[in-house]
Amino acid sequence: MLHSGSLLLRRHRKAWYGKQTRGAARTRLLSLLIILGVLVALHTLAMLLLEDLGLWQAFWLTLTTITTVGYGDLSAESMWGQLATVVFLYIPGIALLGQFLGEYIDYRVTRREHMLQGLWRWKMKDHILILNTPMYDGDLYLERLIQQISTTPELRELPIQILTPVYPDGLPPSLQALGVVHYSGTPTNSQNLERVNASEARYIFVISHNAASINPDSQTIDILEHLNSIPLKAYVVAECVDDENRVRFTRLAADTAIRPVRAYPELVVRAMVAPGTEQVMEDMFTYHGAHQSRYNVEIEGLAWKEVVCSIMQAGLGTAIAYVNKQGELFTSPRADDKVDASALILMVRQDEEPEAREIQSCLKASQGV
């Protein structure tokens, strides 16, 4: 714990120092650019007055001299013009230009390093903001989640940013290749949420960092309380381990709460683009409430719409798929498709789960048997 706290403190100091350094570097670059501009202007004016050159010729001579290109097509011929070139360009101008270029290159290199290390504020808008990473197999889960987002038409054009302290040395190459960026810090910090422009995000996804902890939802609640103090326009999806906390999540900043299903990131995407469908999908992973059951029944030559309607009218459930005589599974067949089946997959309620003989009797009645 002490080591983690010390590491976090060093990260905060590094981020603060990086911010101060970037600000100082920009100030130095601007100052050098202003001085260079003044020297260029003074030398151009001197050439106008002392060498009887036109404005463009005077400016062209100044640029070729300060950059040491020296085409030789123009040059100062009078003693006073040559002296002006020495005073304005040879002594201070060329040296300042070299210093400006050197510091600009250093600034770009430092900027690149800060971007990779998660110390750069990207100032995104209408983006997808992911808060936290899973403790176990986080890289793989994020990779699959981002790939799923990139193939979803409603989301694939939106930039993605991750706020997490997990990658202090940069995102893994697999995530960098997907075009995602990150900011290194904890999501339970209001300043970090400001740095990732949480108020401008279109979607926010709060990941449960450790679903196996004693109090797994405590950190998520802390994050949602911070988000609740921000004027959000985002649709917020939060992972909830303990179902008893769902109401508390939605009372804070979450628009919907879902269970952590690491093997199926589609659940998160559906919660974003089609709210409500995630609840249906969650039920598919559990055996309480509504769930799927397989019934070994015989069907021959019955239209799929007749199968569905007869079972629904009998109050036995909802047919969602069938298995043909060869053992092949067909989901969502066309209404008029003729079904020769050896089994049906039904969505049924736990408290009203029918028996196979009831399903078979219902189908026989539809077939007129």
Which domain-ending residue is among 116, 145, 176?
A: 116
Q: Quote the pLDDT of residue 3.
A: 42
Q: For residue 288, what pLDDT band results from cuts at 50, 70 and 90? A: low
Query: Tokens standing for 27?
Result: 């100030």
pLDDT over 60 at 322, yes or no: yes
Per-residue pLDDT, averaged over 317-345, amounts to 90
- pLDDT digits 0-9 by tens, 76-85: 888 888 898 8
What is the predicted pLDDT for the residue at 10? Answer: 46
In this prediction, residues 260-265 reach a mean pLDDT of 83
Q: DSSP strand E in the chain: where?
A: 128-131, 160-164, 181-184, 203-206, 235-239, 256-258, 290-295, 299-303, 318-324, 329-331, 338-349
Domain range for 334 is: 290-367
The answer, as to whether pTM is greater than 0.75, is no
> What is the residue-averaged pLDDT of the chain?
85
pLDDT attached to residue 146: 94
Same domain assignment for residues 152 and 41: no
Distance CA 239, CA 256 (A): 9
Residues 258 and 145: their CA atoms lie apart, in Å, by 15
Q: Which candidate, 70, 75, 71, places its Cα nearest to that of 58?
A: 75
In this structure, the strands spanning 256-258 and 329-331 are unpaired
- Closest by CA position to 359, among listed 273, 293, 303: 293
Task: Measure the CA–CA gap between 232 and 198, rounded to whole angstroms.
Answer: 7
- Claim to verify: residue 172 and residue 276 sit in the same structural domain: yes
pLDDT of residue 22: 62
Number of domain units in the chain: 3
Does the residue 260 lie in any domain?
A: yes
- Do residue 227 and residue 324 come from a single domain? no
Most confident of 65-69, 180-184, 331-335: 180-184
Lowest mean pLDDT among 3-7, 94-98, 313-317, 330-334: 3-7
Q: Which residue has the higher pLDDT, 369 or 190?
A: 190
Tokens representing residue 267 in the block: 């659940």
For strands 128-131 and 203-206, give the pairing. parallel
**The dihedral formed by the CA atoms of 300, 304, 305 and 310, expressed in degrees to the nearest 10:** 50
| Span 86-140, pLDDT tens digits | 888 888 888 888 888 888 888 788 788 888 888 888 889 999 999 999 888 889 9
CATH of the domain at 270: 3.40.50.720
Q: Are 86 and 65 in contact (CB under 8 A)?
A: no
Long-range contacts of the stretch 177-183 (C-beta < 8 A, 24+): 178/143, 178/146, 178/147, 178/150, 180/142, 180/146, 181/115, 181/120, 181/122, 182/118, 183/118, 183/119, 183/120, 183/121, 183/122
Please report the pLDDT score of residue 21 as a whole number.
Answer: 57
278 and 247 in one domain? yes
Plot region of 342 (φ>0 → left; ψ -120 to 50 → alpha; else → beta): alpha
Q: What is the enclosing helix (H) or strand (E) of 81?
A: helix 79-85
What 3-state class would DSSP assign to 349? strand
pLDDT band with cut points at 50, 70 and 90 for residue 287:
low
